[in-house]
Amino acid sequence: MKRALFYASVCLAPIICIFLSLCMGRYPLHLSDVMNALGNVPIWTDRTSFGIHHTIIWEIRLPRAILGAMVGACLAASGAAFQGLFRNPLVSSGILGVSSGAGFGAALAILLFNSVAAAYPFALVFGMLAVVCSYLIGRLYRTTSAIMLVLGGVIVSSVFAALLSFVKYVADPYEQLPAIVFWLMGSLASARYADIMIAGIPMSIGVIGLLAIRWQINVLSMGDREAHALGIHTNLSKGIVIFCATIATAGAVCVSGVVGWIGLVIPHIGRMLIGNDNRKLIPVSLSLGACFLTLVDILSRMITGAEIPLGILTALVGGPFFVYLLKKTKGGDW
């Protein structure tokens, strides 16, 4: 019974957080207003009869809440998968350079086309390209060892960080540079249903793949020899996990900007709740990540009159929690 209640709460928590996001904001709405607006689906109702409450719910808050939940879930699940694959608790979803590559791609699109909308495909493509480069560097010694992959990610991240600095240096300081800096800090202010449809494809592919192969992550975390002995094709399984986690992260970053700490902190919260079994950890991380980013987005809209970028709030929350985690574990094995 306790297990059933726990998993029921895991499934319902993101829905509750999304509903809270619809009710809370700079323009307060009563519960009855939200329920009436949700009852009038735009497809079934004449748009000319819509009021301001309906517009706020369906056109502004609902796509933002859904996209925030999707982004948080993808970043958390990818972080949990990478931590299990590399057997390192300090690994996050951007370990192979996907965040740096996506940041450079978005900045390059803003520089070339002077449009934030063009940043989405560029961020997705360059995020994937960064991971491919990291993987090729890891194959220099004809191996896909975790150390070589991580070193490849560090090298690629440094290169794309330098390229990003160059783009910011040559960008127009009055129009392009502020747009680049604001995108890099992370935001869901421009969320639309089109973003959900476009970014939802790579995010869905990555999450479904991780859920399907999560039991193999347990075996891979035991080491290559043990995985071989249990009949696992290690290189193929590692490639599938890396591909799924990367495409989920790239899809999330291309619509939200660079939002840190979620892929690092949320999996540890999941381990404190249910342990290290990735068959349970990845689904729980999905739920916790969705709840976390949705709640952080609510705070970003309510703390001040001007919206605070998500990357700032996630760092302010994630940093102190990580200090608490270090104290709780005494720096030992997690």
Residue-wise pLDDT for 36-57, tens only, equals: 888 777 665 555 556 788 888 9
Task: Check: CB of residue 314 under 8 Å from CB of residue 260.
Answer: yes
In the chain, the percentage of residues whose pLDDT exceeds 90 is 41
pLDDT winner (highest mean) among 53-62, 126-135, 282-291, 307-316: 282-291
Q: Structure tokens of 32?
A: 């009855």
pLDDT tops 80 at residue 143: no
Which residues make up the CATH 1.10.3470.10 domain(s) of the chain? 70-329
**Mean pLDDT lowest among 27-31, 32-36, 140-144, 324-328:** 140-144
pLDDT at 48: 54
Distance CA 111, CA 131 (A): 23
pLDDT at 50: 64
Which pTM does this prediction carry?
Answer: 0.91
The string over 24-60, giving b where at least 16 C-beta atoms fall within 10 Å of a residue's C-beta and e elsewhere, is bbeeebeeebbeebeebeeeeeeeeebeebbebbbeb
Cα-based angle 34, 38, 43 (whole degrees, multiple of 5): 150
pLDDT at 164: 94
70-329 under CATH 3.40.50.300, yes or no: no
Distance CA 147, CA 256 (A): 29
pLDDT at 14: 95
